[in-house]
Amino acid sequence: MDICPHCGSNRIRRSRSKGFFERLRRGFSQKRIFRCQACDWRGWGAGTEHSMPGQDAPPTEVTPPPDIDAIDRALGESASKRHTAATS
């Protein structure tokens, strides 16, 4: 990302993952977390790809990307179950 989607500033930097779920999502996605130093916006955006040594050859098997939305739904359902159990 070069420009903040919220304010349009170019003062955008990579941000560290906060918590288990952000690290989990980062592991299954090519998107990364960014923060704007001008307006303090923080969110997911396309990261830059850096090739690792020995990985210049194309992969022999292509796997489909994981369904990140399904992970988010599952986490939301388990949180609502915990909330319902706690209020009962």
pLDDT in tens, 31-83: 888 999 999 898 888 865 543 444 455 556 777 777 888 888 888 876 666 65
User: Cβ(38)–Cβ(7) under 8 Å?
Assistant: yes
Is residue 25 domain-resident?
yes
Is residue 40 domain-resident?
yes
| Domain extent at residue 11 | 1-48+66-88
What domain count does the chain have?
1
Is residue 57 domain-resident?
no
Is residue 16 domain-resident?
yes
pLDDT of residue 53: 43
pTM of the model: 0.49
Is residue 75 domain-resident?
yes
Is residue 55 domain-resident?
no
pLDDT of residue 51: 39
Distance of CA 74 to the CA centre of its chain: 16
Cβ burial of 39 (10 Å; 0-12, 13-18, 19+) is: middle
User: Cβ(40)–Cβ(7) under 8 Å?
Assistant: no
